[in-house]
Amino acid sequence: CGVAHTMDVCLDVRPGEDVVFVDASPSWITGQSYGLSGALLTRVTSVVAVGMVDARLAECFAMAVTSLRVTIFKASASFLRRATRDPTQAAWLARQSLCSRLRVACSCGEPLAPSLQQLGMAAVCPTYMNAYWASEHGAIALGHLYGTADAPLSADARMRAMPWVEAQVWVPLTDRPGESRTRRRVATTAGGGSEQGRLVVTQPWPGMARTIWGDAANVGTPGWKGDNKAYAAAYWCGYADE
Query: Model confidence over 122-149: pLDDT tens digits?
Result: 989 999 999 999 888 999 999 999 998 8
By mean pLDDT, which of 103-107, 181-185, 229-233 is the weakest? Answer: 181-185
Contact 211, 226 (CB under 8 A): yes
Max CA distance (Å), the chain: 62
Q: Are strands 198-201 and 167-172 parallel, antiparallel or unpaired?
A: antiparallel
pLDDT at 242: 44
pLDDT at 83: 87
> What is the distance between the terminal CA atoms of the chain, rounded to a whole angstrom?
34
Q: Are strands 167-172 and 181-185 parallel, antiparallel or unpaired?
A: antiparallel
pLDDT at 180 over 60: no
By mean pLDDT, which of 18-32, 118-132, 216-230 is the weakest? Answer: 216-230
By mean pLDDT, which of 10-14, 54-58, 196-200 is the weakest? Answer: 196-200
Q: Which residue has the higher pLDDT, 93 or 65?
A: 65
Work out the pLDDT band at 188, boundaries 50, 70, 90: very low
Work out the pLDDT band at 195, boundaries 50, 70, 90: low
pLDDT at 189 over 50: no
pLDDT at 81: 87
pLDDT at 221 over 90: no
pLDDT at 69 over 90: yes
3-state SS class at 201: strand
Q: Which residue has the higher pLDDT, 176 or 43?
A: 43
pLDDT at 210 over 80: no
H runs (alpha helix) in the chain: 2-9, 29-30, 38-41, 57-68, 77-83, 87-94, 114-123, 228-235
Strands (E), 96-166: 104-108, 128-129, 142-143, 160-161
Interior/surface letters 209-220, b for 16+ CB within 10 angstroms, e for the rest: eebbebeeeeee
